[in-house]
Amino acid sequence: MKAVVYTGHGGPEVIRVQEMPAPELGPSDVLVRVRAVALNHLDLWIRRGLPRLKLTFPHIAGADVAGVVERVGSAVASVHEGQEVIIAPGISCGVCAACLAGEDNMCAQYSILGEHRHGGLAEYVAVPEANVLPKPARLTFEEAASVPLVFLTAWNMLVTNARVGFDDTVLVWGAGSGVGSAGLQIAKAFGARVIAVAGAGWKLQRSRELGADEGINHREQNVLDEIRTLTNKRGVDVVFDHVGTATWDTSLRALARGGRLVTCGATSGAEATTDIRYIYGRKLSILGSWMGTKRDLHHALRLVEQGRLRPVVHAVLPLEQTARAQEILERSEHFGKVVLRVE
C-alpha cells in the first residue's frame, strides 16, 4: 500500500511517500480504507523525536482517521464492511482496572495511533474494534477526520477535568489551533463566556464566528491587561492552555480565586517558572490532560451529530503533500485542522 513514512527523526526531509506492507489483521481488528487524515502537533513531535519514544523506521504517523471499513477480523461484531467510520486514536488493553473504569487514557498499555504503532497516513490502517466509531452522517470524511483527537482532548480538559459551566469565564489560548477551536466551542456549548487569544486579527474574527465572546491579539495587546479589563479585574475561572513556556506565567496570573488551569501540551516549550504563592494564595488548581477517554469522544460526538460542535477544516491537501501540510502547522498559518486526502 501507499504510505507516508518518516525514514528517521528530523525535519521535513525525513518524510517520504513509499510502498509499505498492508497491516495485518487480528481477530478483533478492523481494517479501514483511509479516506482522510487530520494532522496534529503530535505528528511533528513524533517526527522530531521524543525522549523515551523508540521507533522502528520507516514509521507511519497519523492519529486522526476517517474512512471505510474494508475488512473485519473473525471476532468483530459491531461494525461491518463498507461502513463509514472514524477512529478513536487512543489504543488501550481494554481489560485492566483503568480501562474497565472507563479511564482508558490511564491504561499502562495506552498508545496513540501513529505514535507507538503505525498510523493512518496510508491507504489502510488496522485498529481494534473498540476504536472504530460510526462517522457522523452530516460530516464529510475531511471534517470527520478533524474530530477525534482534538475534540476528545478538549472535552477531557474542559468537561471532565475543569468541569466548565455557565458561570465560568474561559480563556482559550491559541484559539486558531485544532484543539483551541474545539475547546472554544465546547466551552460555549456549556454556556461559558469565552475569551479567545490568537496571534492574528483574522483568527480572532473566525473565533467570534465560532462563538467566542471576546478576542485578544497576543501580538498586539497585553493579554493580562486585557483580561483584567474584560473581567473587571476579577480574572478568569478557567484557562485552557496547550502552549507551555510562552503562556504559563500569564495563565496563572490570569486566574480568578479558585480558578483552574488545564493544560494538554507545551508547543512553545516545556520549562516554566511558577510563583507558588499564586497557587495557594488564590486557591488555584492545575489540571493535566493527556488525550481523553473514549467516553469523552462519545460525548463530544453526540454534540457533533447534533451540529452543536463542528470541526473546523483549514485546508485539505493530497497525501503526497504531507510535508507542506506539516509546514502549515509549524508556521501557525492555519485556523482549525489541516487534513490530508487519501485517494
Residues that bind Zn ion (CB under 5 A): 92-93, 96, 99, 107
Least separation in angstroms between residue 130's CB and Zn ion is: 11
Nearer to Zn ion, 96 or 246 (CB): 96
Residue nearest to Zn ion (CB): 107
Least separation in angstroms between residue 104's CB and Zn ion is: 6
Nearer to Zn ion, 101 or 270 (CB): 101
Least separation in angstroms between residue 109's CB and Zn ion is: 5
Least separation in angstroms between residue 106's CB and Zn ion is: 8
Nearer to Zn ion, 98 or 328 (CB): 98
Nearer to Zn ion, 107 or 304 (CB): 107
Nearer to Zn ion, 108 or 270 (CB): 108
Residue type, 314: H
Least separation in angstroms between residue 294's CB and Zn ion is: 11
Q: How many residues are given for the chain?
A: 343
Q: Are 98 and 65 in contact (CB under 8 A)?
A: no
Read off the DSSP letter of residue 113.
B
- Sign of the Cα torsion 103, 174, 229, 252 reads positive
Grid cell digits, residue 317: 491537501
Best CA proximity match to 199, nearest among 182, 216, 184:
216
E strand segments, the chain: 2-6, 15-19, 29-38, 64-72, 84-87, 90-91, 111-112, 124-128, 132-134, 169-172, 193-198, 214-217, 236-241, 255-263, 285-288, 313-318, 337-341
